[in-house]
Amino acid sequence: MRATNGTTIRGNGFAASVPTSVASAEVARVLLDSTVLIDALRGRPAGERLRALRRQGDEPWTCAISIEEIWRGLLPGEQASAQRLVRGLRCAPLGSAEGMRAGRWRREFAGQGITLHQADCLIAAAAVGIDARLATGNPTDFPMNDVMVEHWPVGR
């Protein structure tokens, strides 16, 4: 498995094609999935890890799929905090290239008898599209070789 406890492992796939307006050699990007965002929102260790990410100069991103997932599970009284959290992140685009990449992964893994969820594939495609590491509490949901997965254990 490529995911480790906070260590990034680069997969063996194709290089991400990123528009110049999105990519920057000076800034490392980390796309945060909903498990990480929920932990940060609820004051768990992911919140401190997110602050440390900013201090070291990395740029936190998310995508519309993860935003929808956290909004769906908001507890009473969390909406204002969730809005502040999301406003502090850049949102990765989800366009036709990401849709095609996600569909290709689902088709290829299905051919091996492995079911991948549409949302996870779109989140991973968004990360690849901006040349970002993908921070998640569920690294086994992202078995694609061309995704750089970073395991942020949840609730710890």
**How do strand 90-92 and strand 29-32 relate by DSSP bridges?**
unpaired
Structure tokens at 47: 């919140």
Q: Is the pLDDT of residue 37 over 90?
A: yes
User: Rounded to an integer, what distance in angstroms lies between the CA atom of residue 26 and that of residue 50?
Assistant: 18
Residue 19 included in any domain: no
Residue 22 included in any domain: no
Q: Give the range of the structural domain holding residue 40, as residue numbers without chain letter.
A: 29-151
Lowest mean pLDDT among 50-59, 70-79, 114-123, 147-156: 147-156
Mean pLDDT of 144-149: 96
Residue 11 included in any domain: no
HSE (side-chain half, CA atoms, 13 Å) at 107: 6
Structure tokens at 112: 């091996």
Residue 12 included in any domain: no
pLDDT tens digits for range 125-139: 999 999 999 999 999
pLDDT tens digits for range 47-74: 999 999 999 999 999 999 999 999 999 9
